């Protein structure tokens, strides 16, 4: 949403005090095909929201979700919060800009805002089937080889969504109590670092199947390797991931199995209703 007046109205009428800016166009392939739409959503959307927050006197805590993509390709890994922001591809650039705009509002206008930089989220609730985890799970449950659109070799830092949500909540609470955190950025990582191929294979194994991966190698504009140093979050926020990788994967698969079961039940119900009609 980039309509600043509407944002200001919503913040005021609902007496909002804490804001989590999570809205974005998040798909790298879409960003590469439609950069202007991505820039409008991710960059203009950020300044519209922050300007609305600046004009809303009840706001006392804002967390902006940047991304490890904001760092772009780097020779030295893992990324620390001092690593330069140098996105090159459209999605990465949009997150670099999001990060810098947020810093501007913190330092110029003393807005109570801090930044999270997370890796690749996974977990229940993601219905974008072009993404690795939901796509692999759906393919396997449909009895077919899971499609990997990249060549499978890109290294990513995977983060279970419930661990990420806990980090966001913790940062918002701490920011409300300590304005010294204003403008600070925090890498959030559970150290689940591996290639897309390795993660997909781990998902297939956890589902008790043995399908070979269908590696397409059609994705472009991808950063080759990413990993985050989350020492600052662990020291300053006392944040720790709650779930080990096996548990997180099991919980994720369970969510999708329940989702597919509900969908199947609805399909059967719909057929029965049409027959009765």
Domain assignment present for 30: yes
Q: What CATH number is associated with residue 209?
A: 3.40.50.720
- For residue range 94-110, what is the model confidence (pLDDT) as tens digits? 999 999 999 999 999 99
Q: Write the burial class of residue 38 (CB in 10 Å: 0-12 exposed, 13-18 middle, 19+ buried).
A: buried
Domain assignment present for 268: no
Domain assignment present for 267: no
Torsion of CA 63, 69, 74, 76, to 10 degrees: 50
Cβ atoms < 10 Å from Cβ of 209: 14
The predicted model gives 253-263 an average pLDDT of 91
| Spatial separation of the C-alpha atoms in residues 41 and 259, rounded to whole Å | 29
What pLDDT is stored for residue 219 in this prediction? 79
What pLDDT is stored for residue 271 in this prediction? 39
Residues designated as active site = 91
Domain assignment present for 85: yes
Domain assignment present for 191: yes
Report percent pLDDT > 90 for the chain. 86
The DSSP H or E segment spanning 23 is none
What pLDDT is stored for residue 1 in this prediction? 54
Domain assignment present for 274: no
For residue 165, the enclosing domain spans 4-261
What pLDDT is stored for residue 27 in this prediction? 83
Cβ atoms < 10 Å from Cβ of 173: 14
Number of domains, the chain: 1
Domain assignment present for 11: yes
- For residue range 185-196, what is the model confidence (pLDDT) as tens digits? 999 999 999 999
Domain assignment present for 35: yes
Cβ atoms < 10 Å from Cβ of 168: 19
- For residue range 32-48, what is the model confidence (pLDDT) as tens digits? 899 999 999 999 999 99
Res. 87: pLDDT tops 50? yes
């Amino acid at each position: 949403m980039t309509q600043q007046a509407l944002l200001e109205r919503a913040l005021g009428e609902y007496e909002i005090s804490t804001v989590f800016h999570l809205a974005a166009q998040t798909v790298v392939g879409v960003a590469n095909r439609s950069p202007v739409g991505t820039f409008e959503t991710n960059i203009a959307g950020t300044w519209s929201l922050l300007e609305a927050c600046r004009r809303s006197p009840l706001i006392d805590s804002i967390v902006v979700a940047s991304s490890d993509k904001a760092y772009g390709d780097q020779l030295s890994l893992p990324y620390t919060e001092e690593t330069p922001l140098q996105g090159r591809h459209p999605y990465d650039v949009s997150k670099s800009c999001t990060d810098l705009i947020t810093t501007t509002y913190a330092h110029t206008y003393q807005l109570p805002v801090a930044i999270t930089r997370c890796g690749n989220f996974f977990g229940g609730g993601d219905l974008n089937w072009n993404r690795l985890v939901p796509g692999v799970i759906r393919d396997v449950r449909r009895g077919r080889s899971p499609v990997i659109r990249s060549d499978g070799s890109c290294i990513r830092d995977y983060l279970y969504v419930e661990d990420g949500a806990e980090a966001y909540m913790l940062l918002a609470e701490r920011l409300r109590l300590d304005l010294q955190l204003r403008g600070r950025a925090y890498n959030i990582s559970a150290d689940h670092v591996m290639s897309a191929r390795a993660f997909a294979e781990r998902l297939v194994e956890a589902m008790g199947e043995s399908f070979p991966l269908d590696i397409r190698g059609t994705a472009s504009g991808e950063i080759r390797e990413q990993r985050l140093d989350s020492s600052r979050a662990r020291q300053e926020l006392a944040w720790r991931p709650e779930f080990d990788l096996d548990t997180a994967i099991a919980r994720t698969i369970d969510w999708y199995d329940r989702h597919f079961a509900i969908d199947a039940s609805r399909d059967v119900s719909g057929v029965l209703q049409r027959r009765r009609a």
